[in-house]
Each structure stands twice: as C-alpha cells, then as structure tokens.
C-alpha cells in the first residue's frame, strides 16, 4: 500500500520543560515572544487550560521579561480553541491573546490570537501494543488529540512493522491537522470509516474514543499515553446510546424547555438556537433561550421550572458533564434530527 504523507506540525525547537505534570509537555515560548514583538503589542492576555496553569507564573514572567509588555493571565476555565478571550482582551484593552495548549480552529481566528500548542513528550509503544491485543482486524484508523498529533508518525511506523495497514483521515472542518480529533469534530474518523476495521485514538482519557465509536459505528480503543494503557470503550458507548435514546423520550414529554446558547466565540450558535426553539414551539413546547459562558449544572439547576435543556454549545456538556444536571440535557443536533424524522413520519416535514 502507498504510504500516506501526514500533514504534521514542524517539530518544536527550543522547548522549555516545566516540572511535575509539565514534564510531559513542550511549549515553544520563543514563538510567542517573536510574534508579540513583531506585532508591536503593549498588553497581552494569556489563556491556559487547567492542566497547563501550573506553567502560568513562569510563562507570564518570561514573556514580560523578553518583550516588556504588560501580561495578564486569565483565570477563567478554557477547554478548547473555541473559547477565545475576546471579552477579556476588550475589557483590559489588550491587543493580543496567547492561547496555550490547543490548535487553532481555522475559521475562527480574528488575527488577535497567537496559538501556542503543547506537545506531549510521552511514550506510545506500550499502550499501542496493548491496544492491538483488544481488537481484531488489519486496517487501522489512527487519530490523536492535538497534544499527541506528532506521535502519529511514530505510531504508524510501529503499526506497519506489526503488519497493519494504517489510515489517517484528512484535516477539515474545525481540524488543523490530519488525524486530529476534537470532542466536537470527528470528521478525520468518519472520512475513513469505510476503509478501516477499527480505530486507535491517542488521547488522555476515553472521551474522544467514545465519540469516534459512537459516530462511526466501528470499534475504537483509547490509547492513553499519560497512563500508559489502552481501554476498550464499547461498554461506555452502549451506555451513552441508551441514555441518549431515553433523553429523546424525555424531550417528547417535556413541556418547558431551555435552549442553551454559549457566549464563547467558537461555540455560539444563535441562529441554530432560534431554529430549534421554533421547531419545538411548533411541537407545542414552551421554550426560552438561556445564554452563558459556563453552561454547567451548577449554573443551570436553579432554573427549576424547566423540564429539559437543549444544548447548542460544546457537545461535551451533554455527554461528559450531564451528571451535574438535575434535568435531562440533549445536544441540539440530536434533537433536530429526532424532530425532523418524527415530522417526516407524520408527513408534516
């Protein structure tokens, strides 16, 4: 088979290694320093996901010392490149944000954000070989989150030596790299689903592998380089499917529905929220739109008159965080496809 050349980031030069958990990451600070100087910024905001916040102090001091700009670390949670600090930048009158740990979502950058991606420097061999014992087949779909995207080449070589055919889906949609997987974008997996017997998903935790198996119907194994182990996710997918099915039933019973709209730039879908509100109102539901930055159970449970939430923001809210909600929560795409197929069945679509 002709080997695919994988669209990959250039290797990082001059990395700084932090301590404790940070010893697992390389972050190229000089790249940000050069960019800040080149753009002549005077004030800068730094955004870090929780896992990289232990690096915040040193990072802030280093950028201040090397550029002379005033730097603010934001304490707000940051789960992805969808969550840009535009509001903080405006209020602080900063010219730039240094967004750490995630890859740019191509259509989202307004030119005021510098992305400082983090690369893990962990070993992949052991969990990869462990994963192959859990599943049958020769044709492997290989995926990784952006922190491990540079490991795809090495993983491909190992798998080919073991007699496997390796497929890596092309970048597209919200993805910057071939083979990349996001919690809200599985196109690198779905685009190769006809060609593969199973997927190996290199990521911390099982969430991305669950999403891959749920969206392709093919077995996916989570290959976790942090824990050095592989995990089969079929049981979790089955449980998730049952919950989703039950929640659709709850939507039919619900009288009062809250449609959630995120105030994070890359998650905000006002038009889609309006569309689903109209669809639900045509079904006889009473609906309200609820906007917020942190759409958590903690912030929403007090809306006690609401029977069910429909989520137009990050899909992980309804999949991963649903246990924090006292009322059922369903992702908007699922609600729309369920309502459309129901209306079609009744001949009113």
Q: Which residues of 255-278 are buried (b: 16+ CB within 10 A; e: fewer)?
A: eebbbbbbebbbbbeeeebeebbe
Strand order across the beta sheet in which 308-311 lies: 286-292, 256-262, 308-311, 329-331
> For residues 266-295, which are near ligand SF4 according to CB under 6 A?
266-267
Rg (alpha carbons) of the chain, rounded to whole number = 22
Residues 24-53 interacting with ligand SF4 (rule: CB under 6 A):
none
Cα 165 to Cα 160: distance, rounded to the nearest angstrom:
6
CB of 137 to ligand SF4, least distance (A): 28
Within residues 76-105, the interface with ligand SF4 by CB under 6 A covers 79-82
Of the candidates 1, 3, 17, 2, which has an alpha carbon nearest to the alpha carbon of residue 153?
3
Closer of 266 and 328 to ligand SF4 (Cβ):
266
Told to check if 208 binds ligand SF4 by CB under 6 A, we report no
Q: Which residue, 28 or 267, has its beta carbon nearer to ligand SF4?
A: 267
Rounded CA separation 99/74 (Å): 10
211 near ligand SF4, rule: CB under 6 A = no
Within 10 angstroms of residue 210's Cβ, the number of other Cβ atoms is 24
Contact flag: residue 204 with ligand SF4 (CB under 6 A) = no
The count of residues interacting with ligand SF4 (CB under 6 A) is 11
Q: Contacts with ligand SF4 in 307-336 (CB under 6 A)?
A: 314, 316
Judge contact between 272 and 251, C-beta under 8 A.
Answer: no
Is 183 a binding residue for ligand SF4 by CB under 6 A? The answer is yes
The verdict on 206 binding ligand SF4 (CB under 6 A) reads: no
Supply the minimum distance, in Å, between the C-beta of residue 179 and ligand SF4: 16
Residue 156: name the closest of 194, 125, 121 by CA.
Answer: 125
71 is a contact residue toward ligand SF4 (CB under 6 A): no
Least spacing, CB of residue 343 vs ligand SF4, in Å: 28
Residues lying near ligand SF4 in the complex (CB under 6 A):
79-82, 182-184, 266-267, 314, 316
């Amino acid at each position: 088979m002709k080997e695919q050349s994988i669209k990959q980031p250039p290797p990082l030069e001059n990395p700084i290694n932090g301590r404790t958990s940070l010893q697992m990451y390389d972050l190229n600070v000089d790249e940000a320093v050069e960019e800040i100087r080149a753009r002549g910024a005077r004030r800068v905001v730094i955004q870090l996901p929780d896992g990289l916040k232990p690096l915040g102090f040193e990072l802030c001091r280093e950028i201040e010392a090397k550029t002379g700009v005033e730097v603010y670390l934001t304490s707000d949670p940051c789960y992805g490149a969808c969550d840009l600090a535009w509001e903080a930048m405006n209020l602080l009158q900063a010219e730039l944000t240094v967004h750490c740990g995630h890859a740019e979502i191509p259509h989202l950058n307004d030119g005021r954000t510098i992305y400082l991606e983090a690369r893990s420097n962990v070993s992949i061999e052991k969990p990869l070989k462990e994963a192959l014992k859990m599943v049958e087949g020769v044709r492997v779909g290989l995926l990784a989150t952006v922190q491990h995207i540079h490991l795809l080449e090495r993983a491909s070589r190992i798998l080919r030596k073991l007699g496997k055919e390796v497929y890596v889906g092309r970048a597209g949609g919200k993805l910057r790299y071939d083979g990349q997987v996001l919690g809200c974008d599985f196109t690198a997996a779905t685009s190769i689903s006809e060609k593969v017997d199973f997927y190996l998903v290199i990521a911390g935790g099982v969430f991305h592998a669950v999403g891959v198996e749920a969206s392709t119907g093919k077995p996916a194994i989570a290959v976790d380089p942090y824990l050095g182990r592989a995990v089969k996710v079929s049981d979790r997918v089955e449980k998730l499917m049952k919950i989703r099915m039950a929640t659709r039933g709850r939507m039919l019973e619900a009288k009062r529905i809250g449609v959630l709209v995120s105030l994070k730039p890359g998650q905000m879908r006002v038009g889609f929220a309006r569309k689903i509100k109209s669809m639900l109102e045509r079904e006889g539901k009473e609906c309200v739109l609820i906007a917020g930055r942190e759409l958590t159970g903690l912030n929403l449970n007090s809306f006690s008159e609401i029977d069910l939430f429909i989520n137009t923001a990050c899909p992980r809210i309804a999949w991963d965080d649903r246990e924090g909600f006292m009322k059922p929560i369903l992702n908007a795409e699922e609600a729309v496809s369920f309502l459309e197929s129901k209306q079609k069945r009744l001949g009113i679509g």
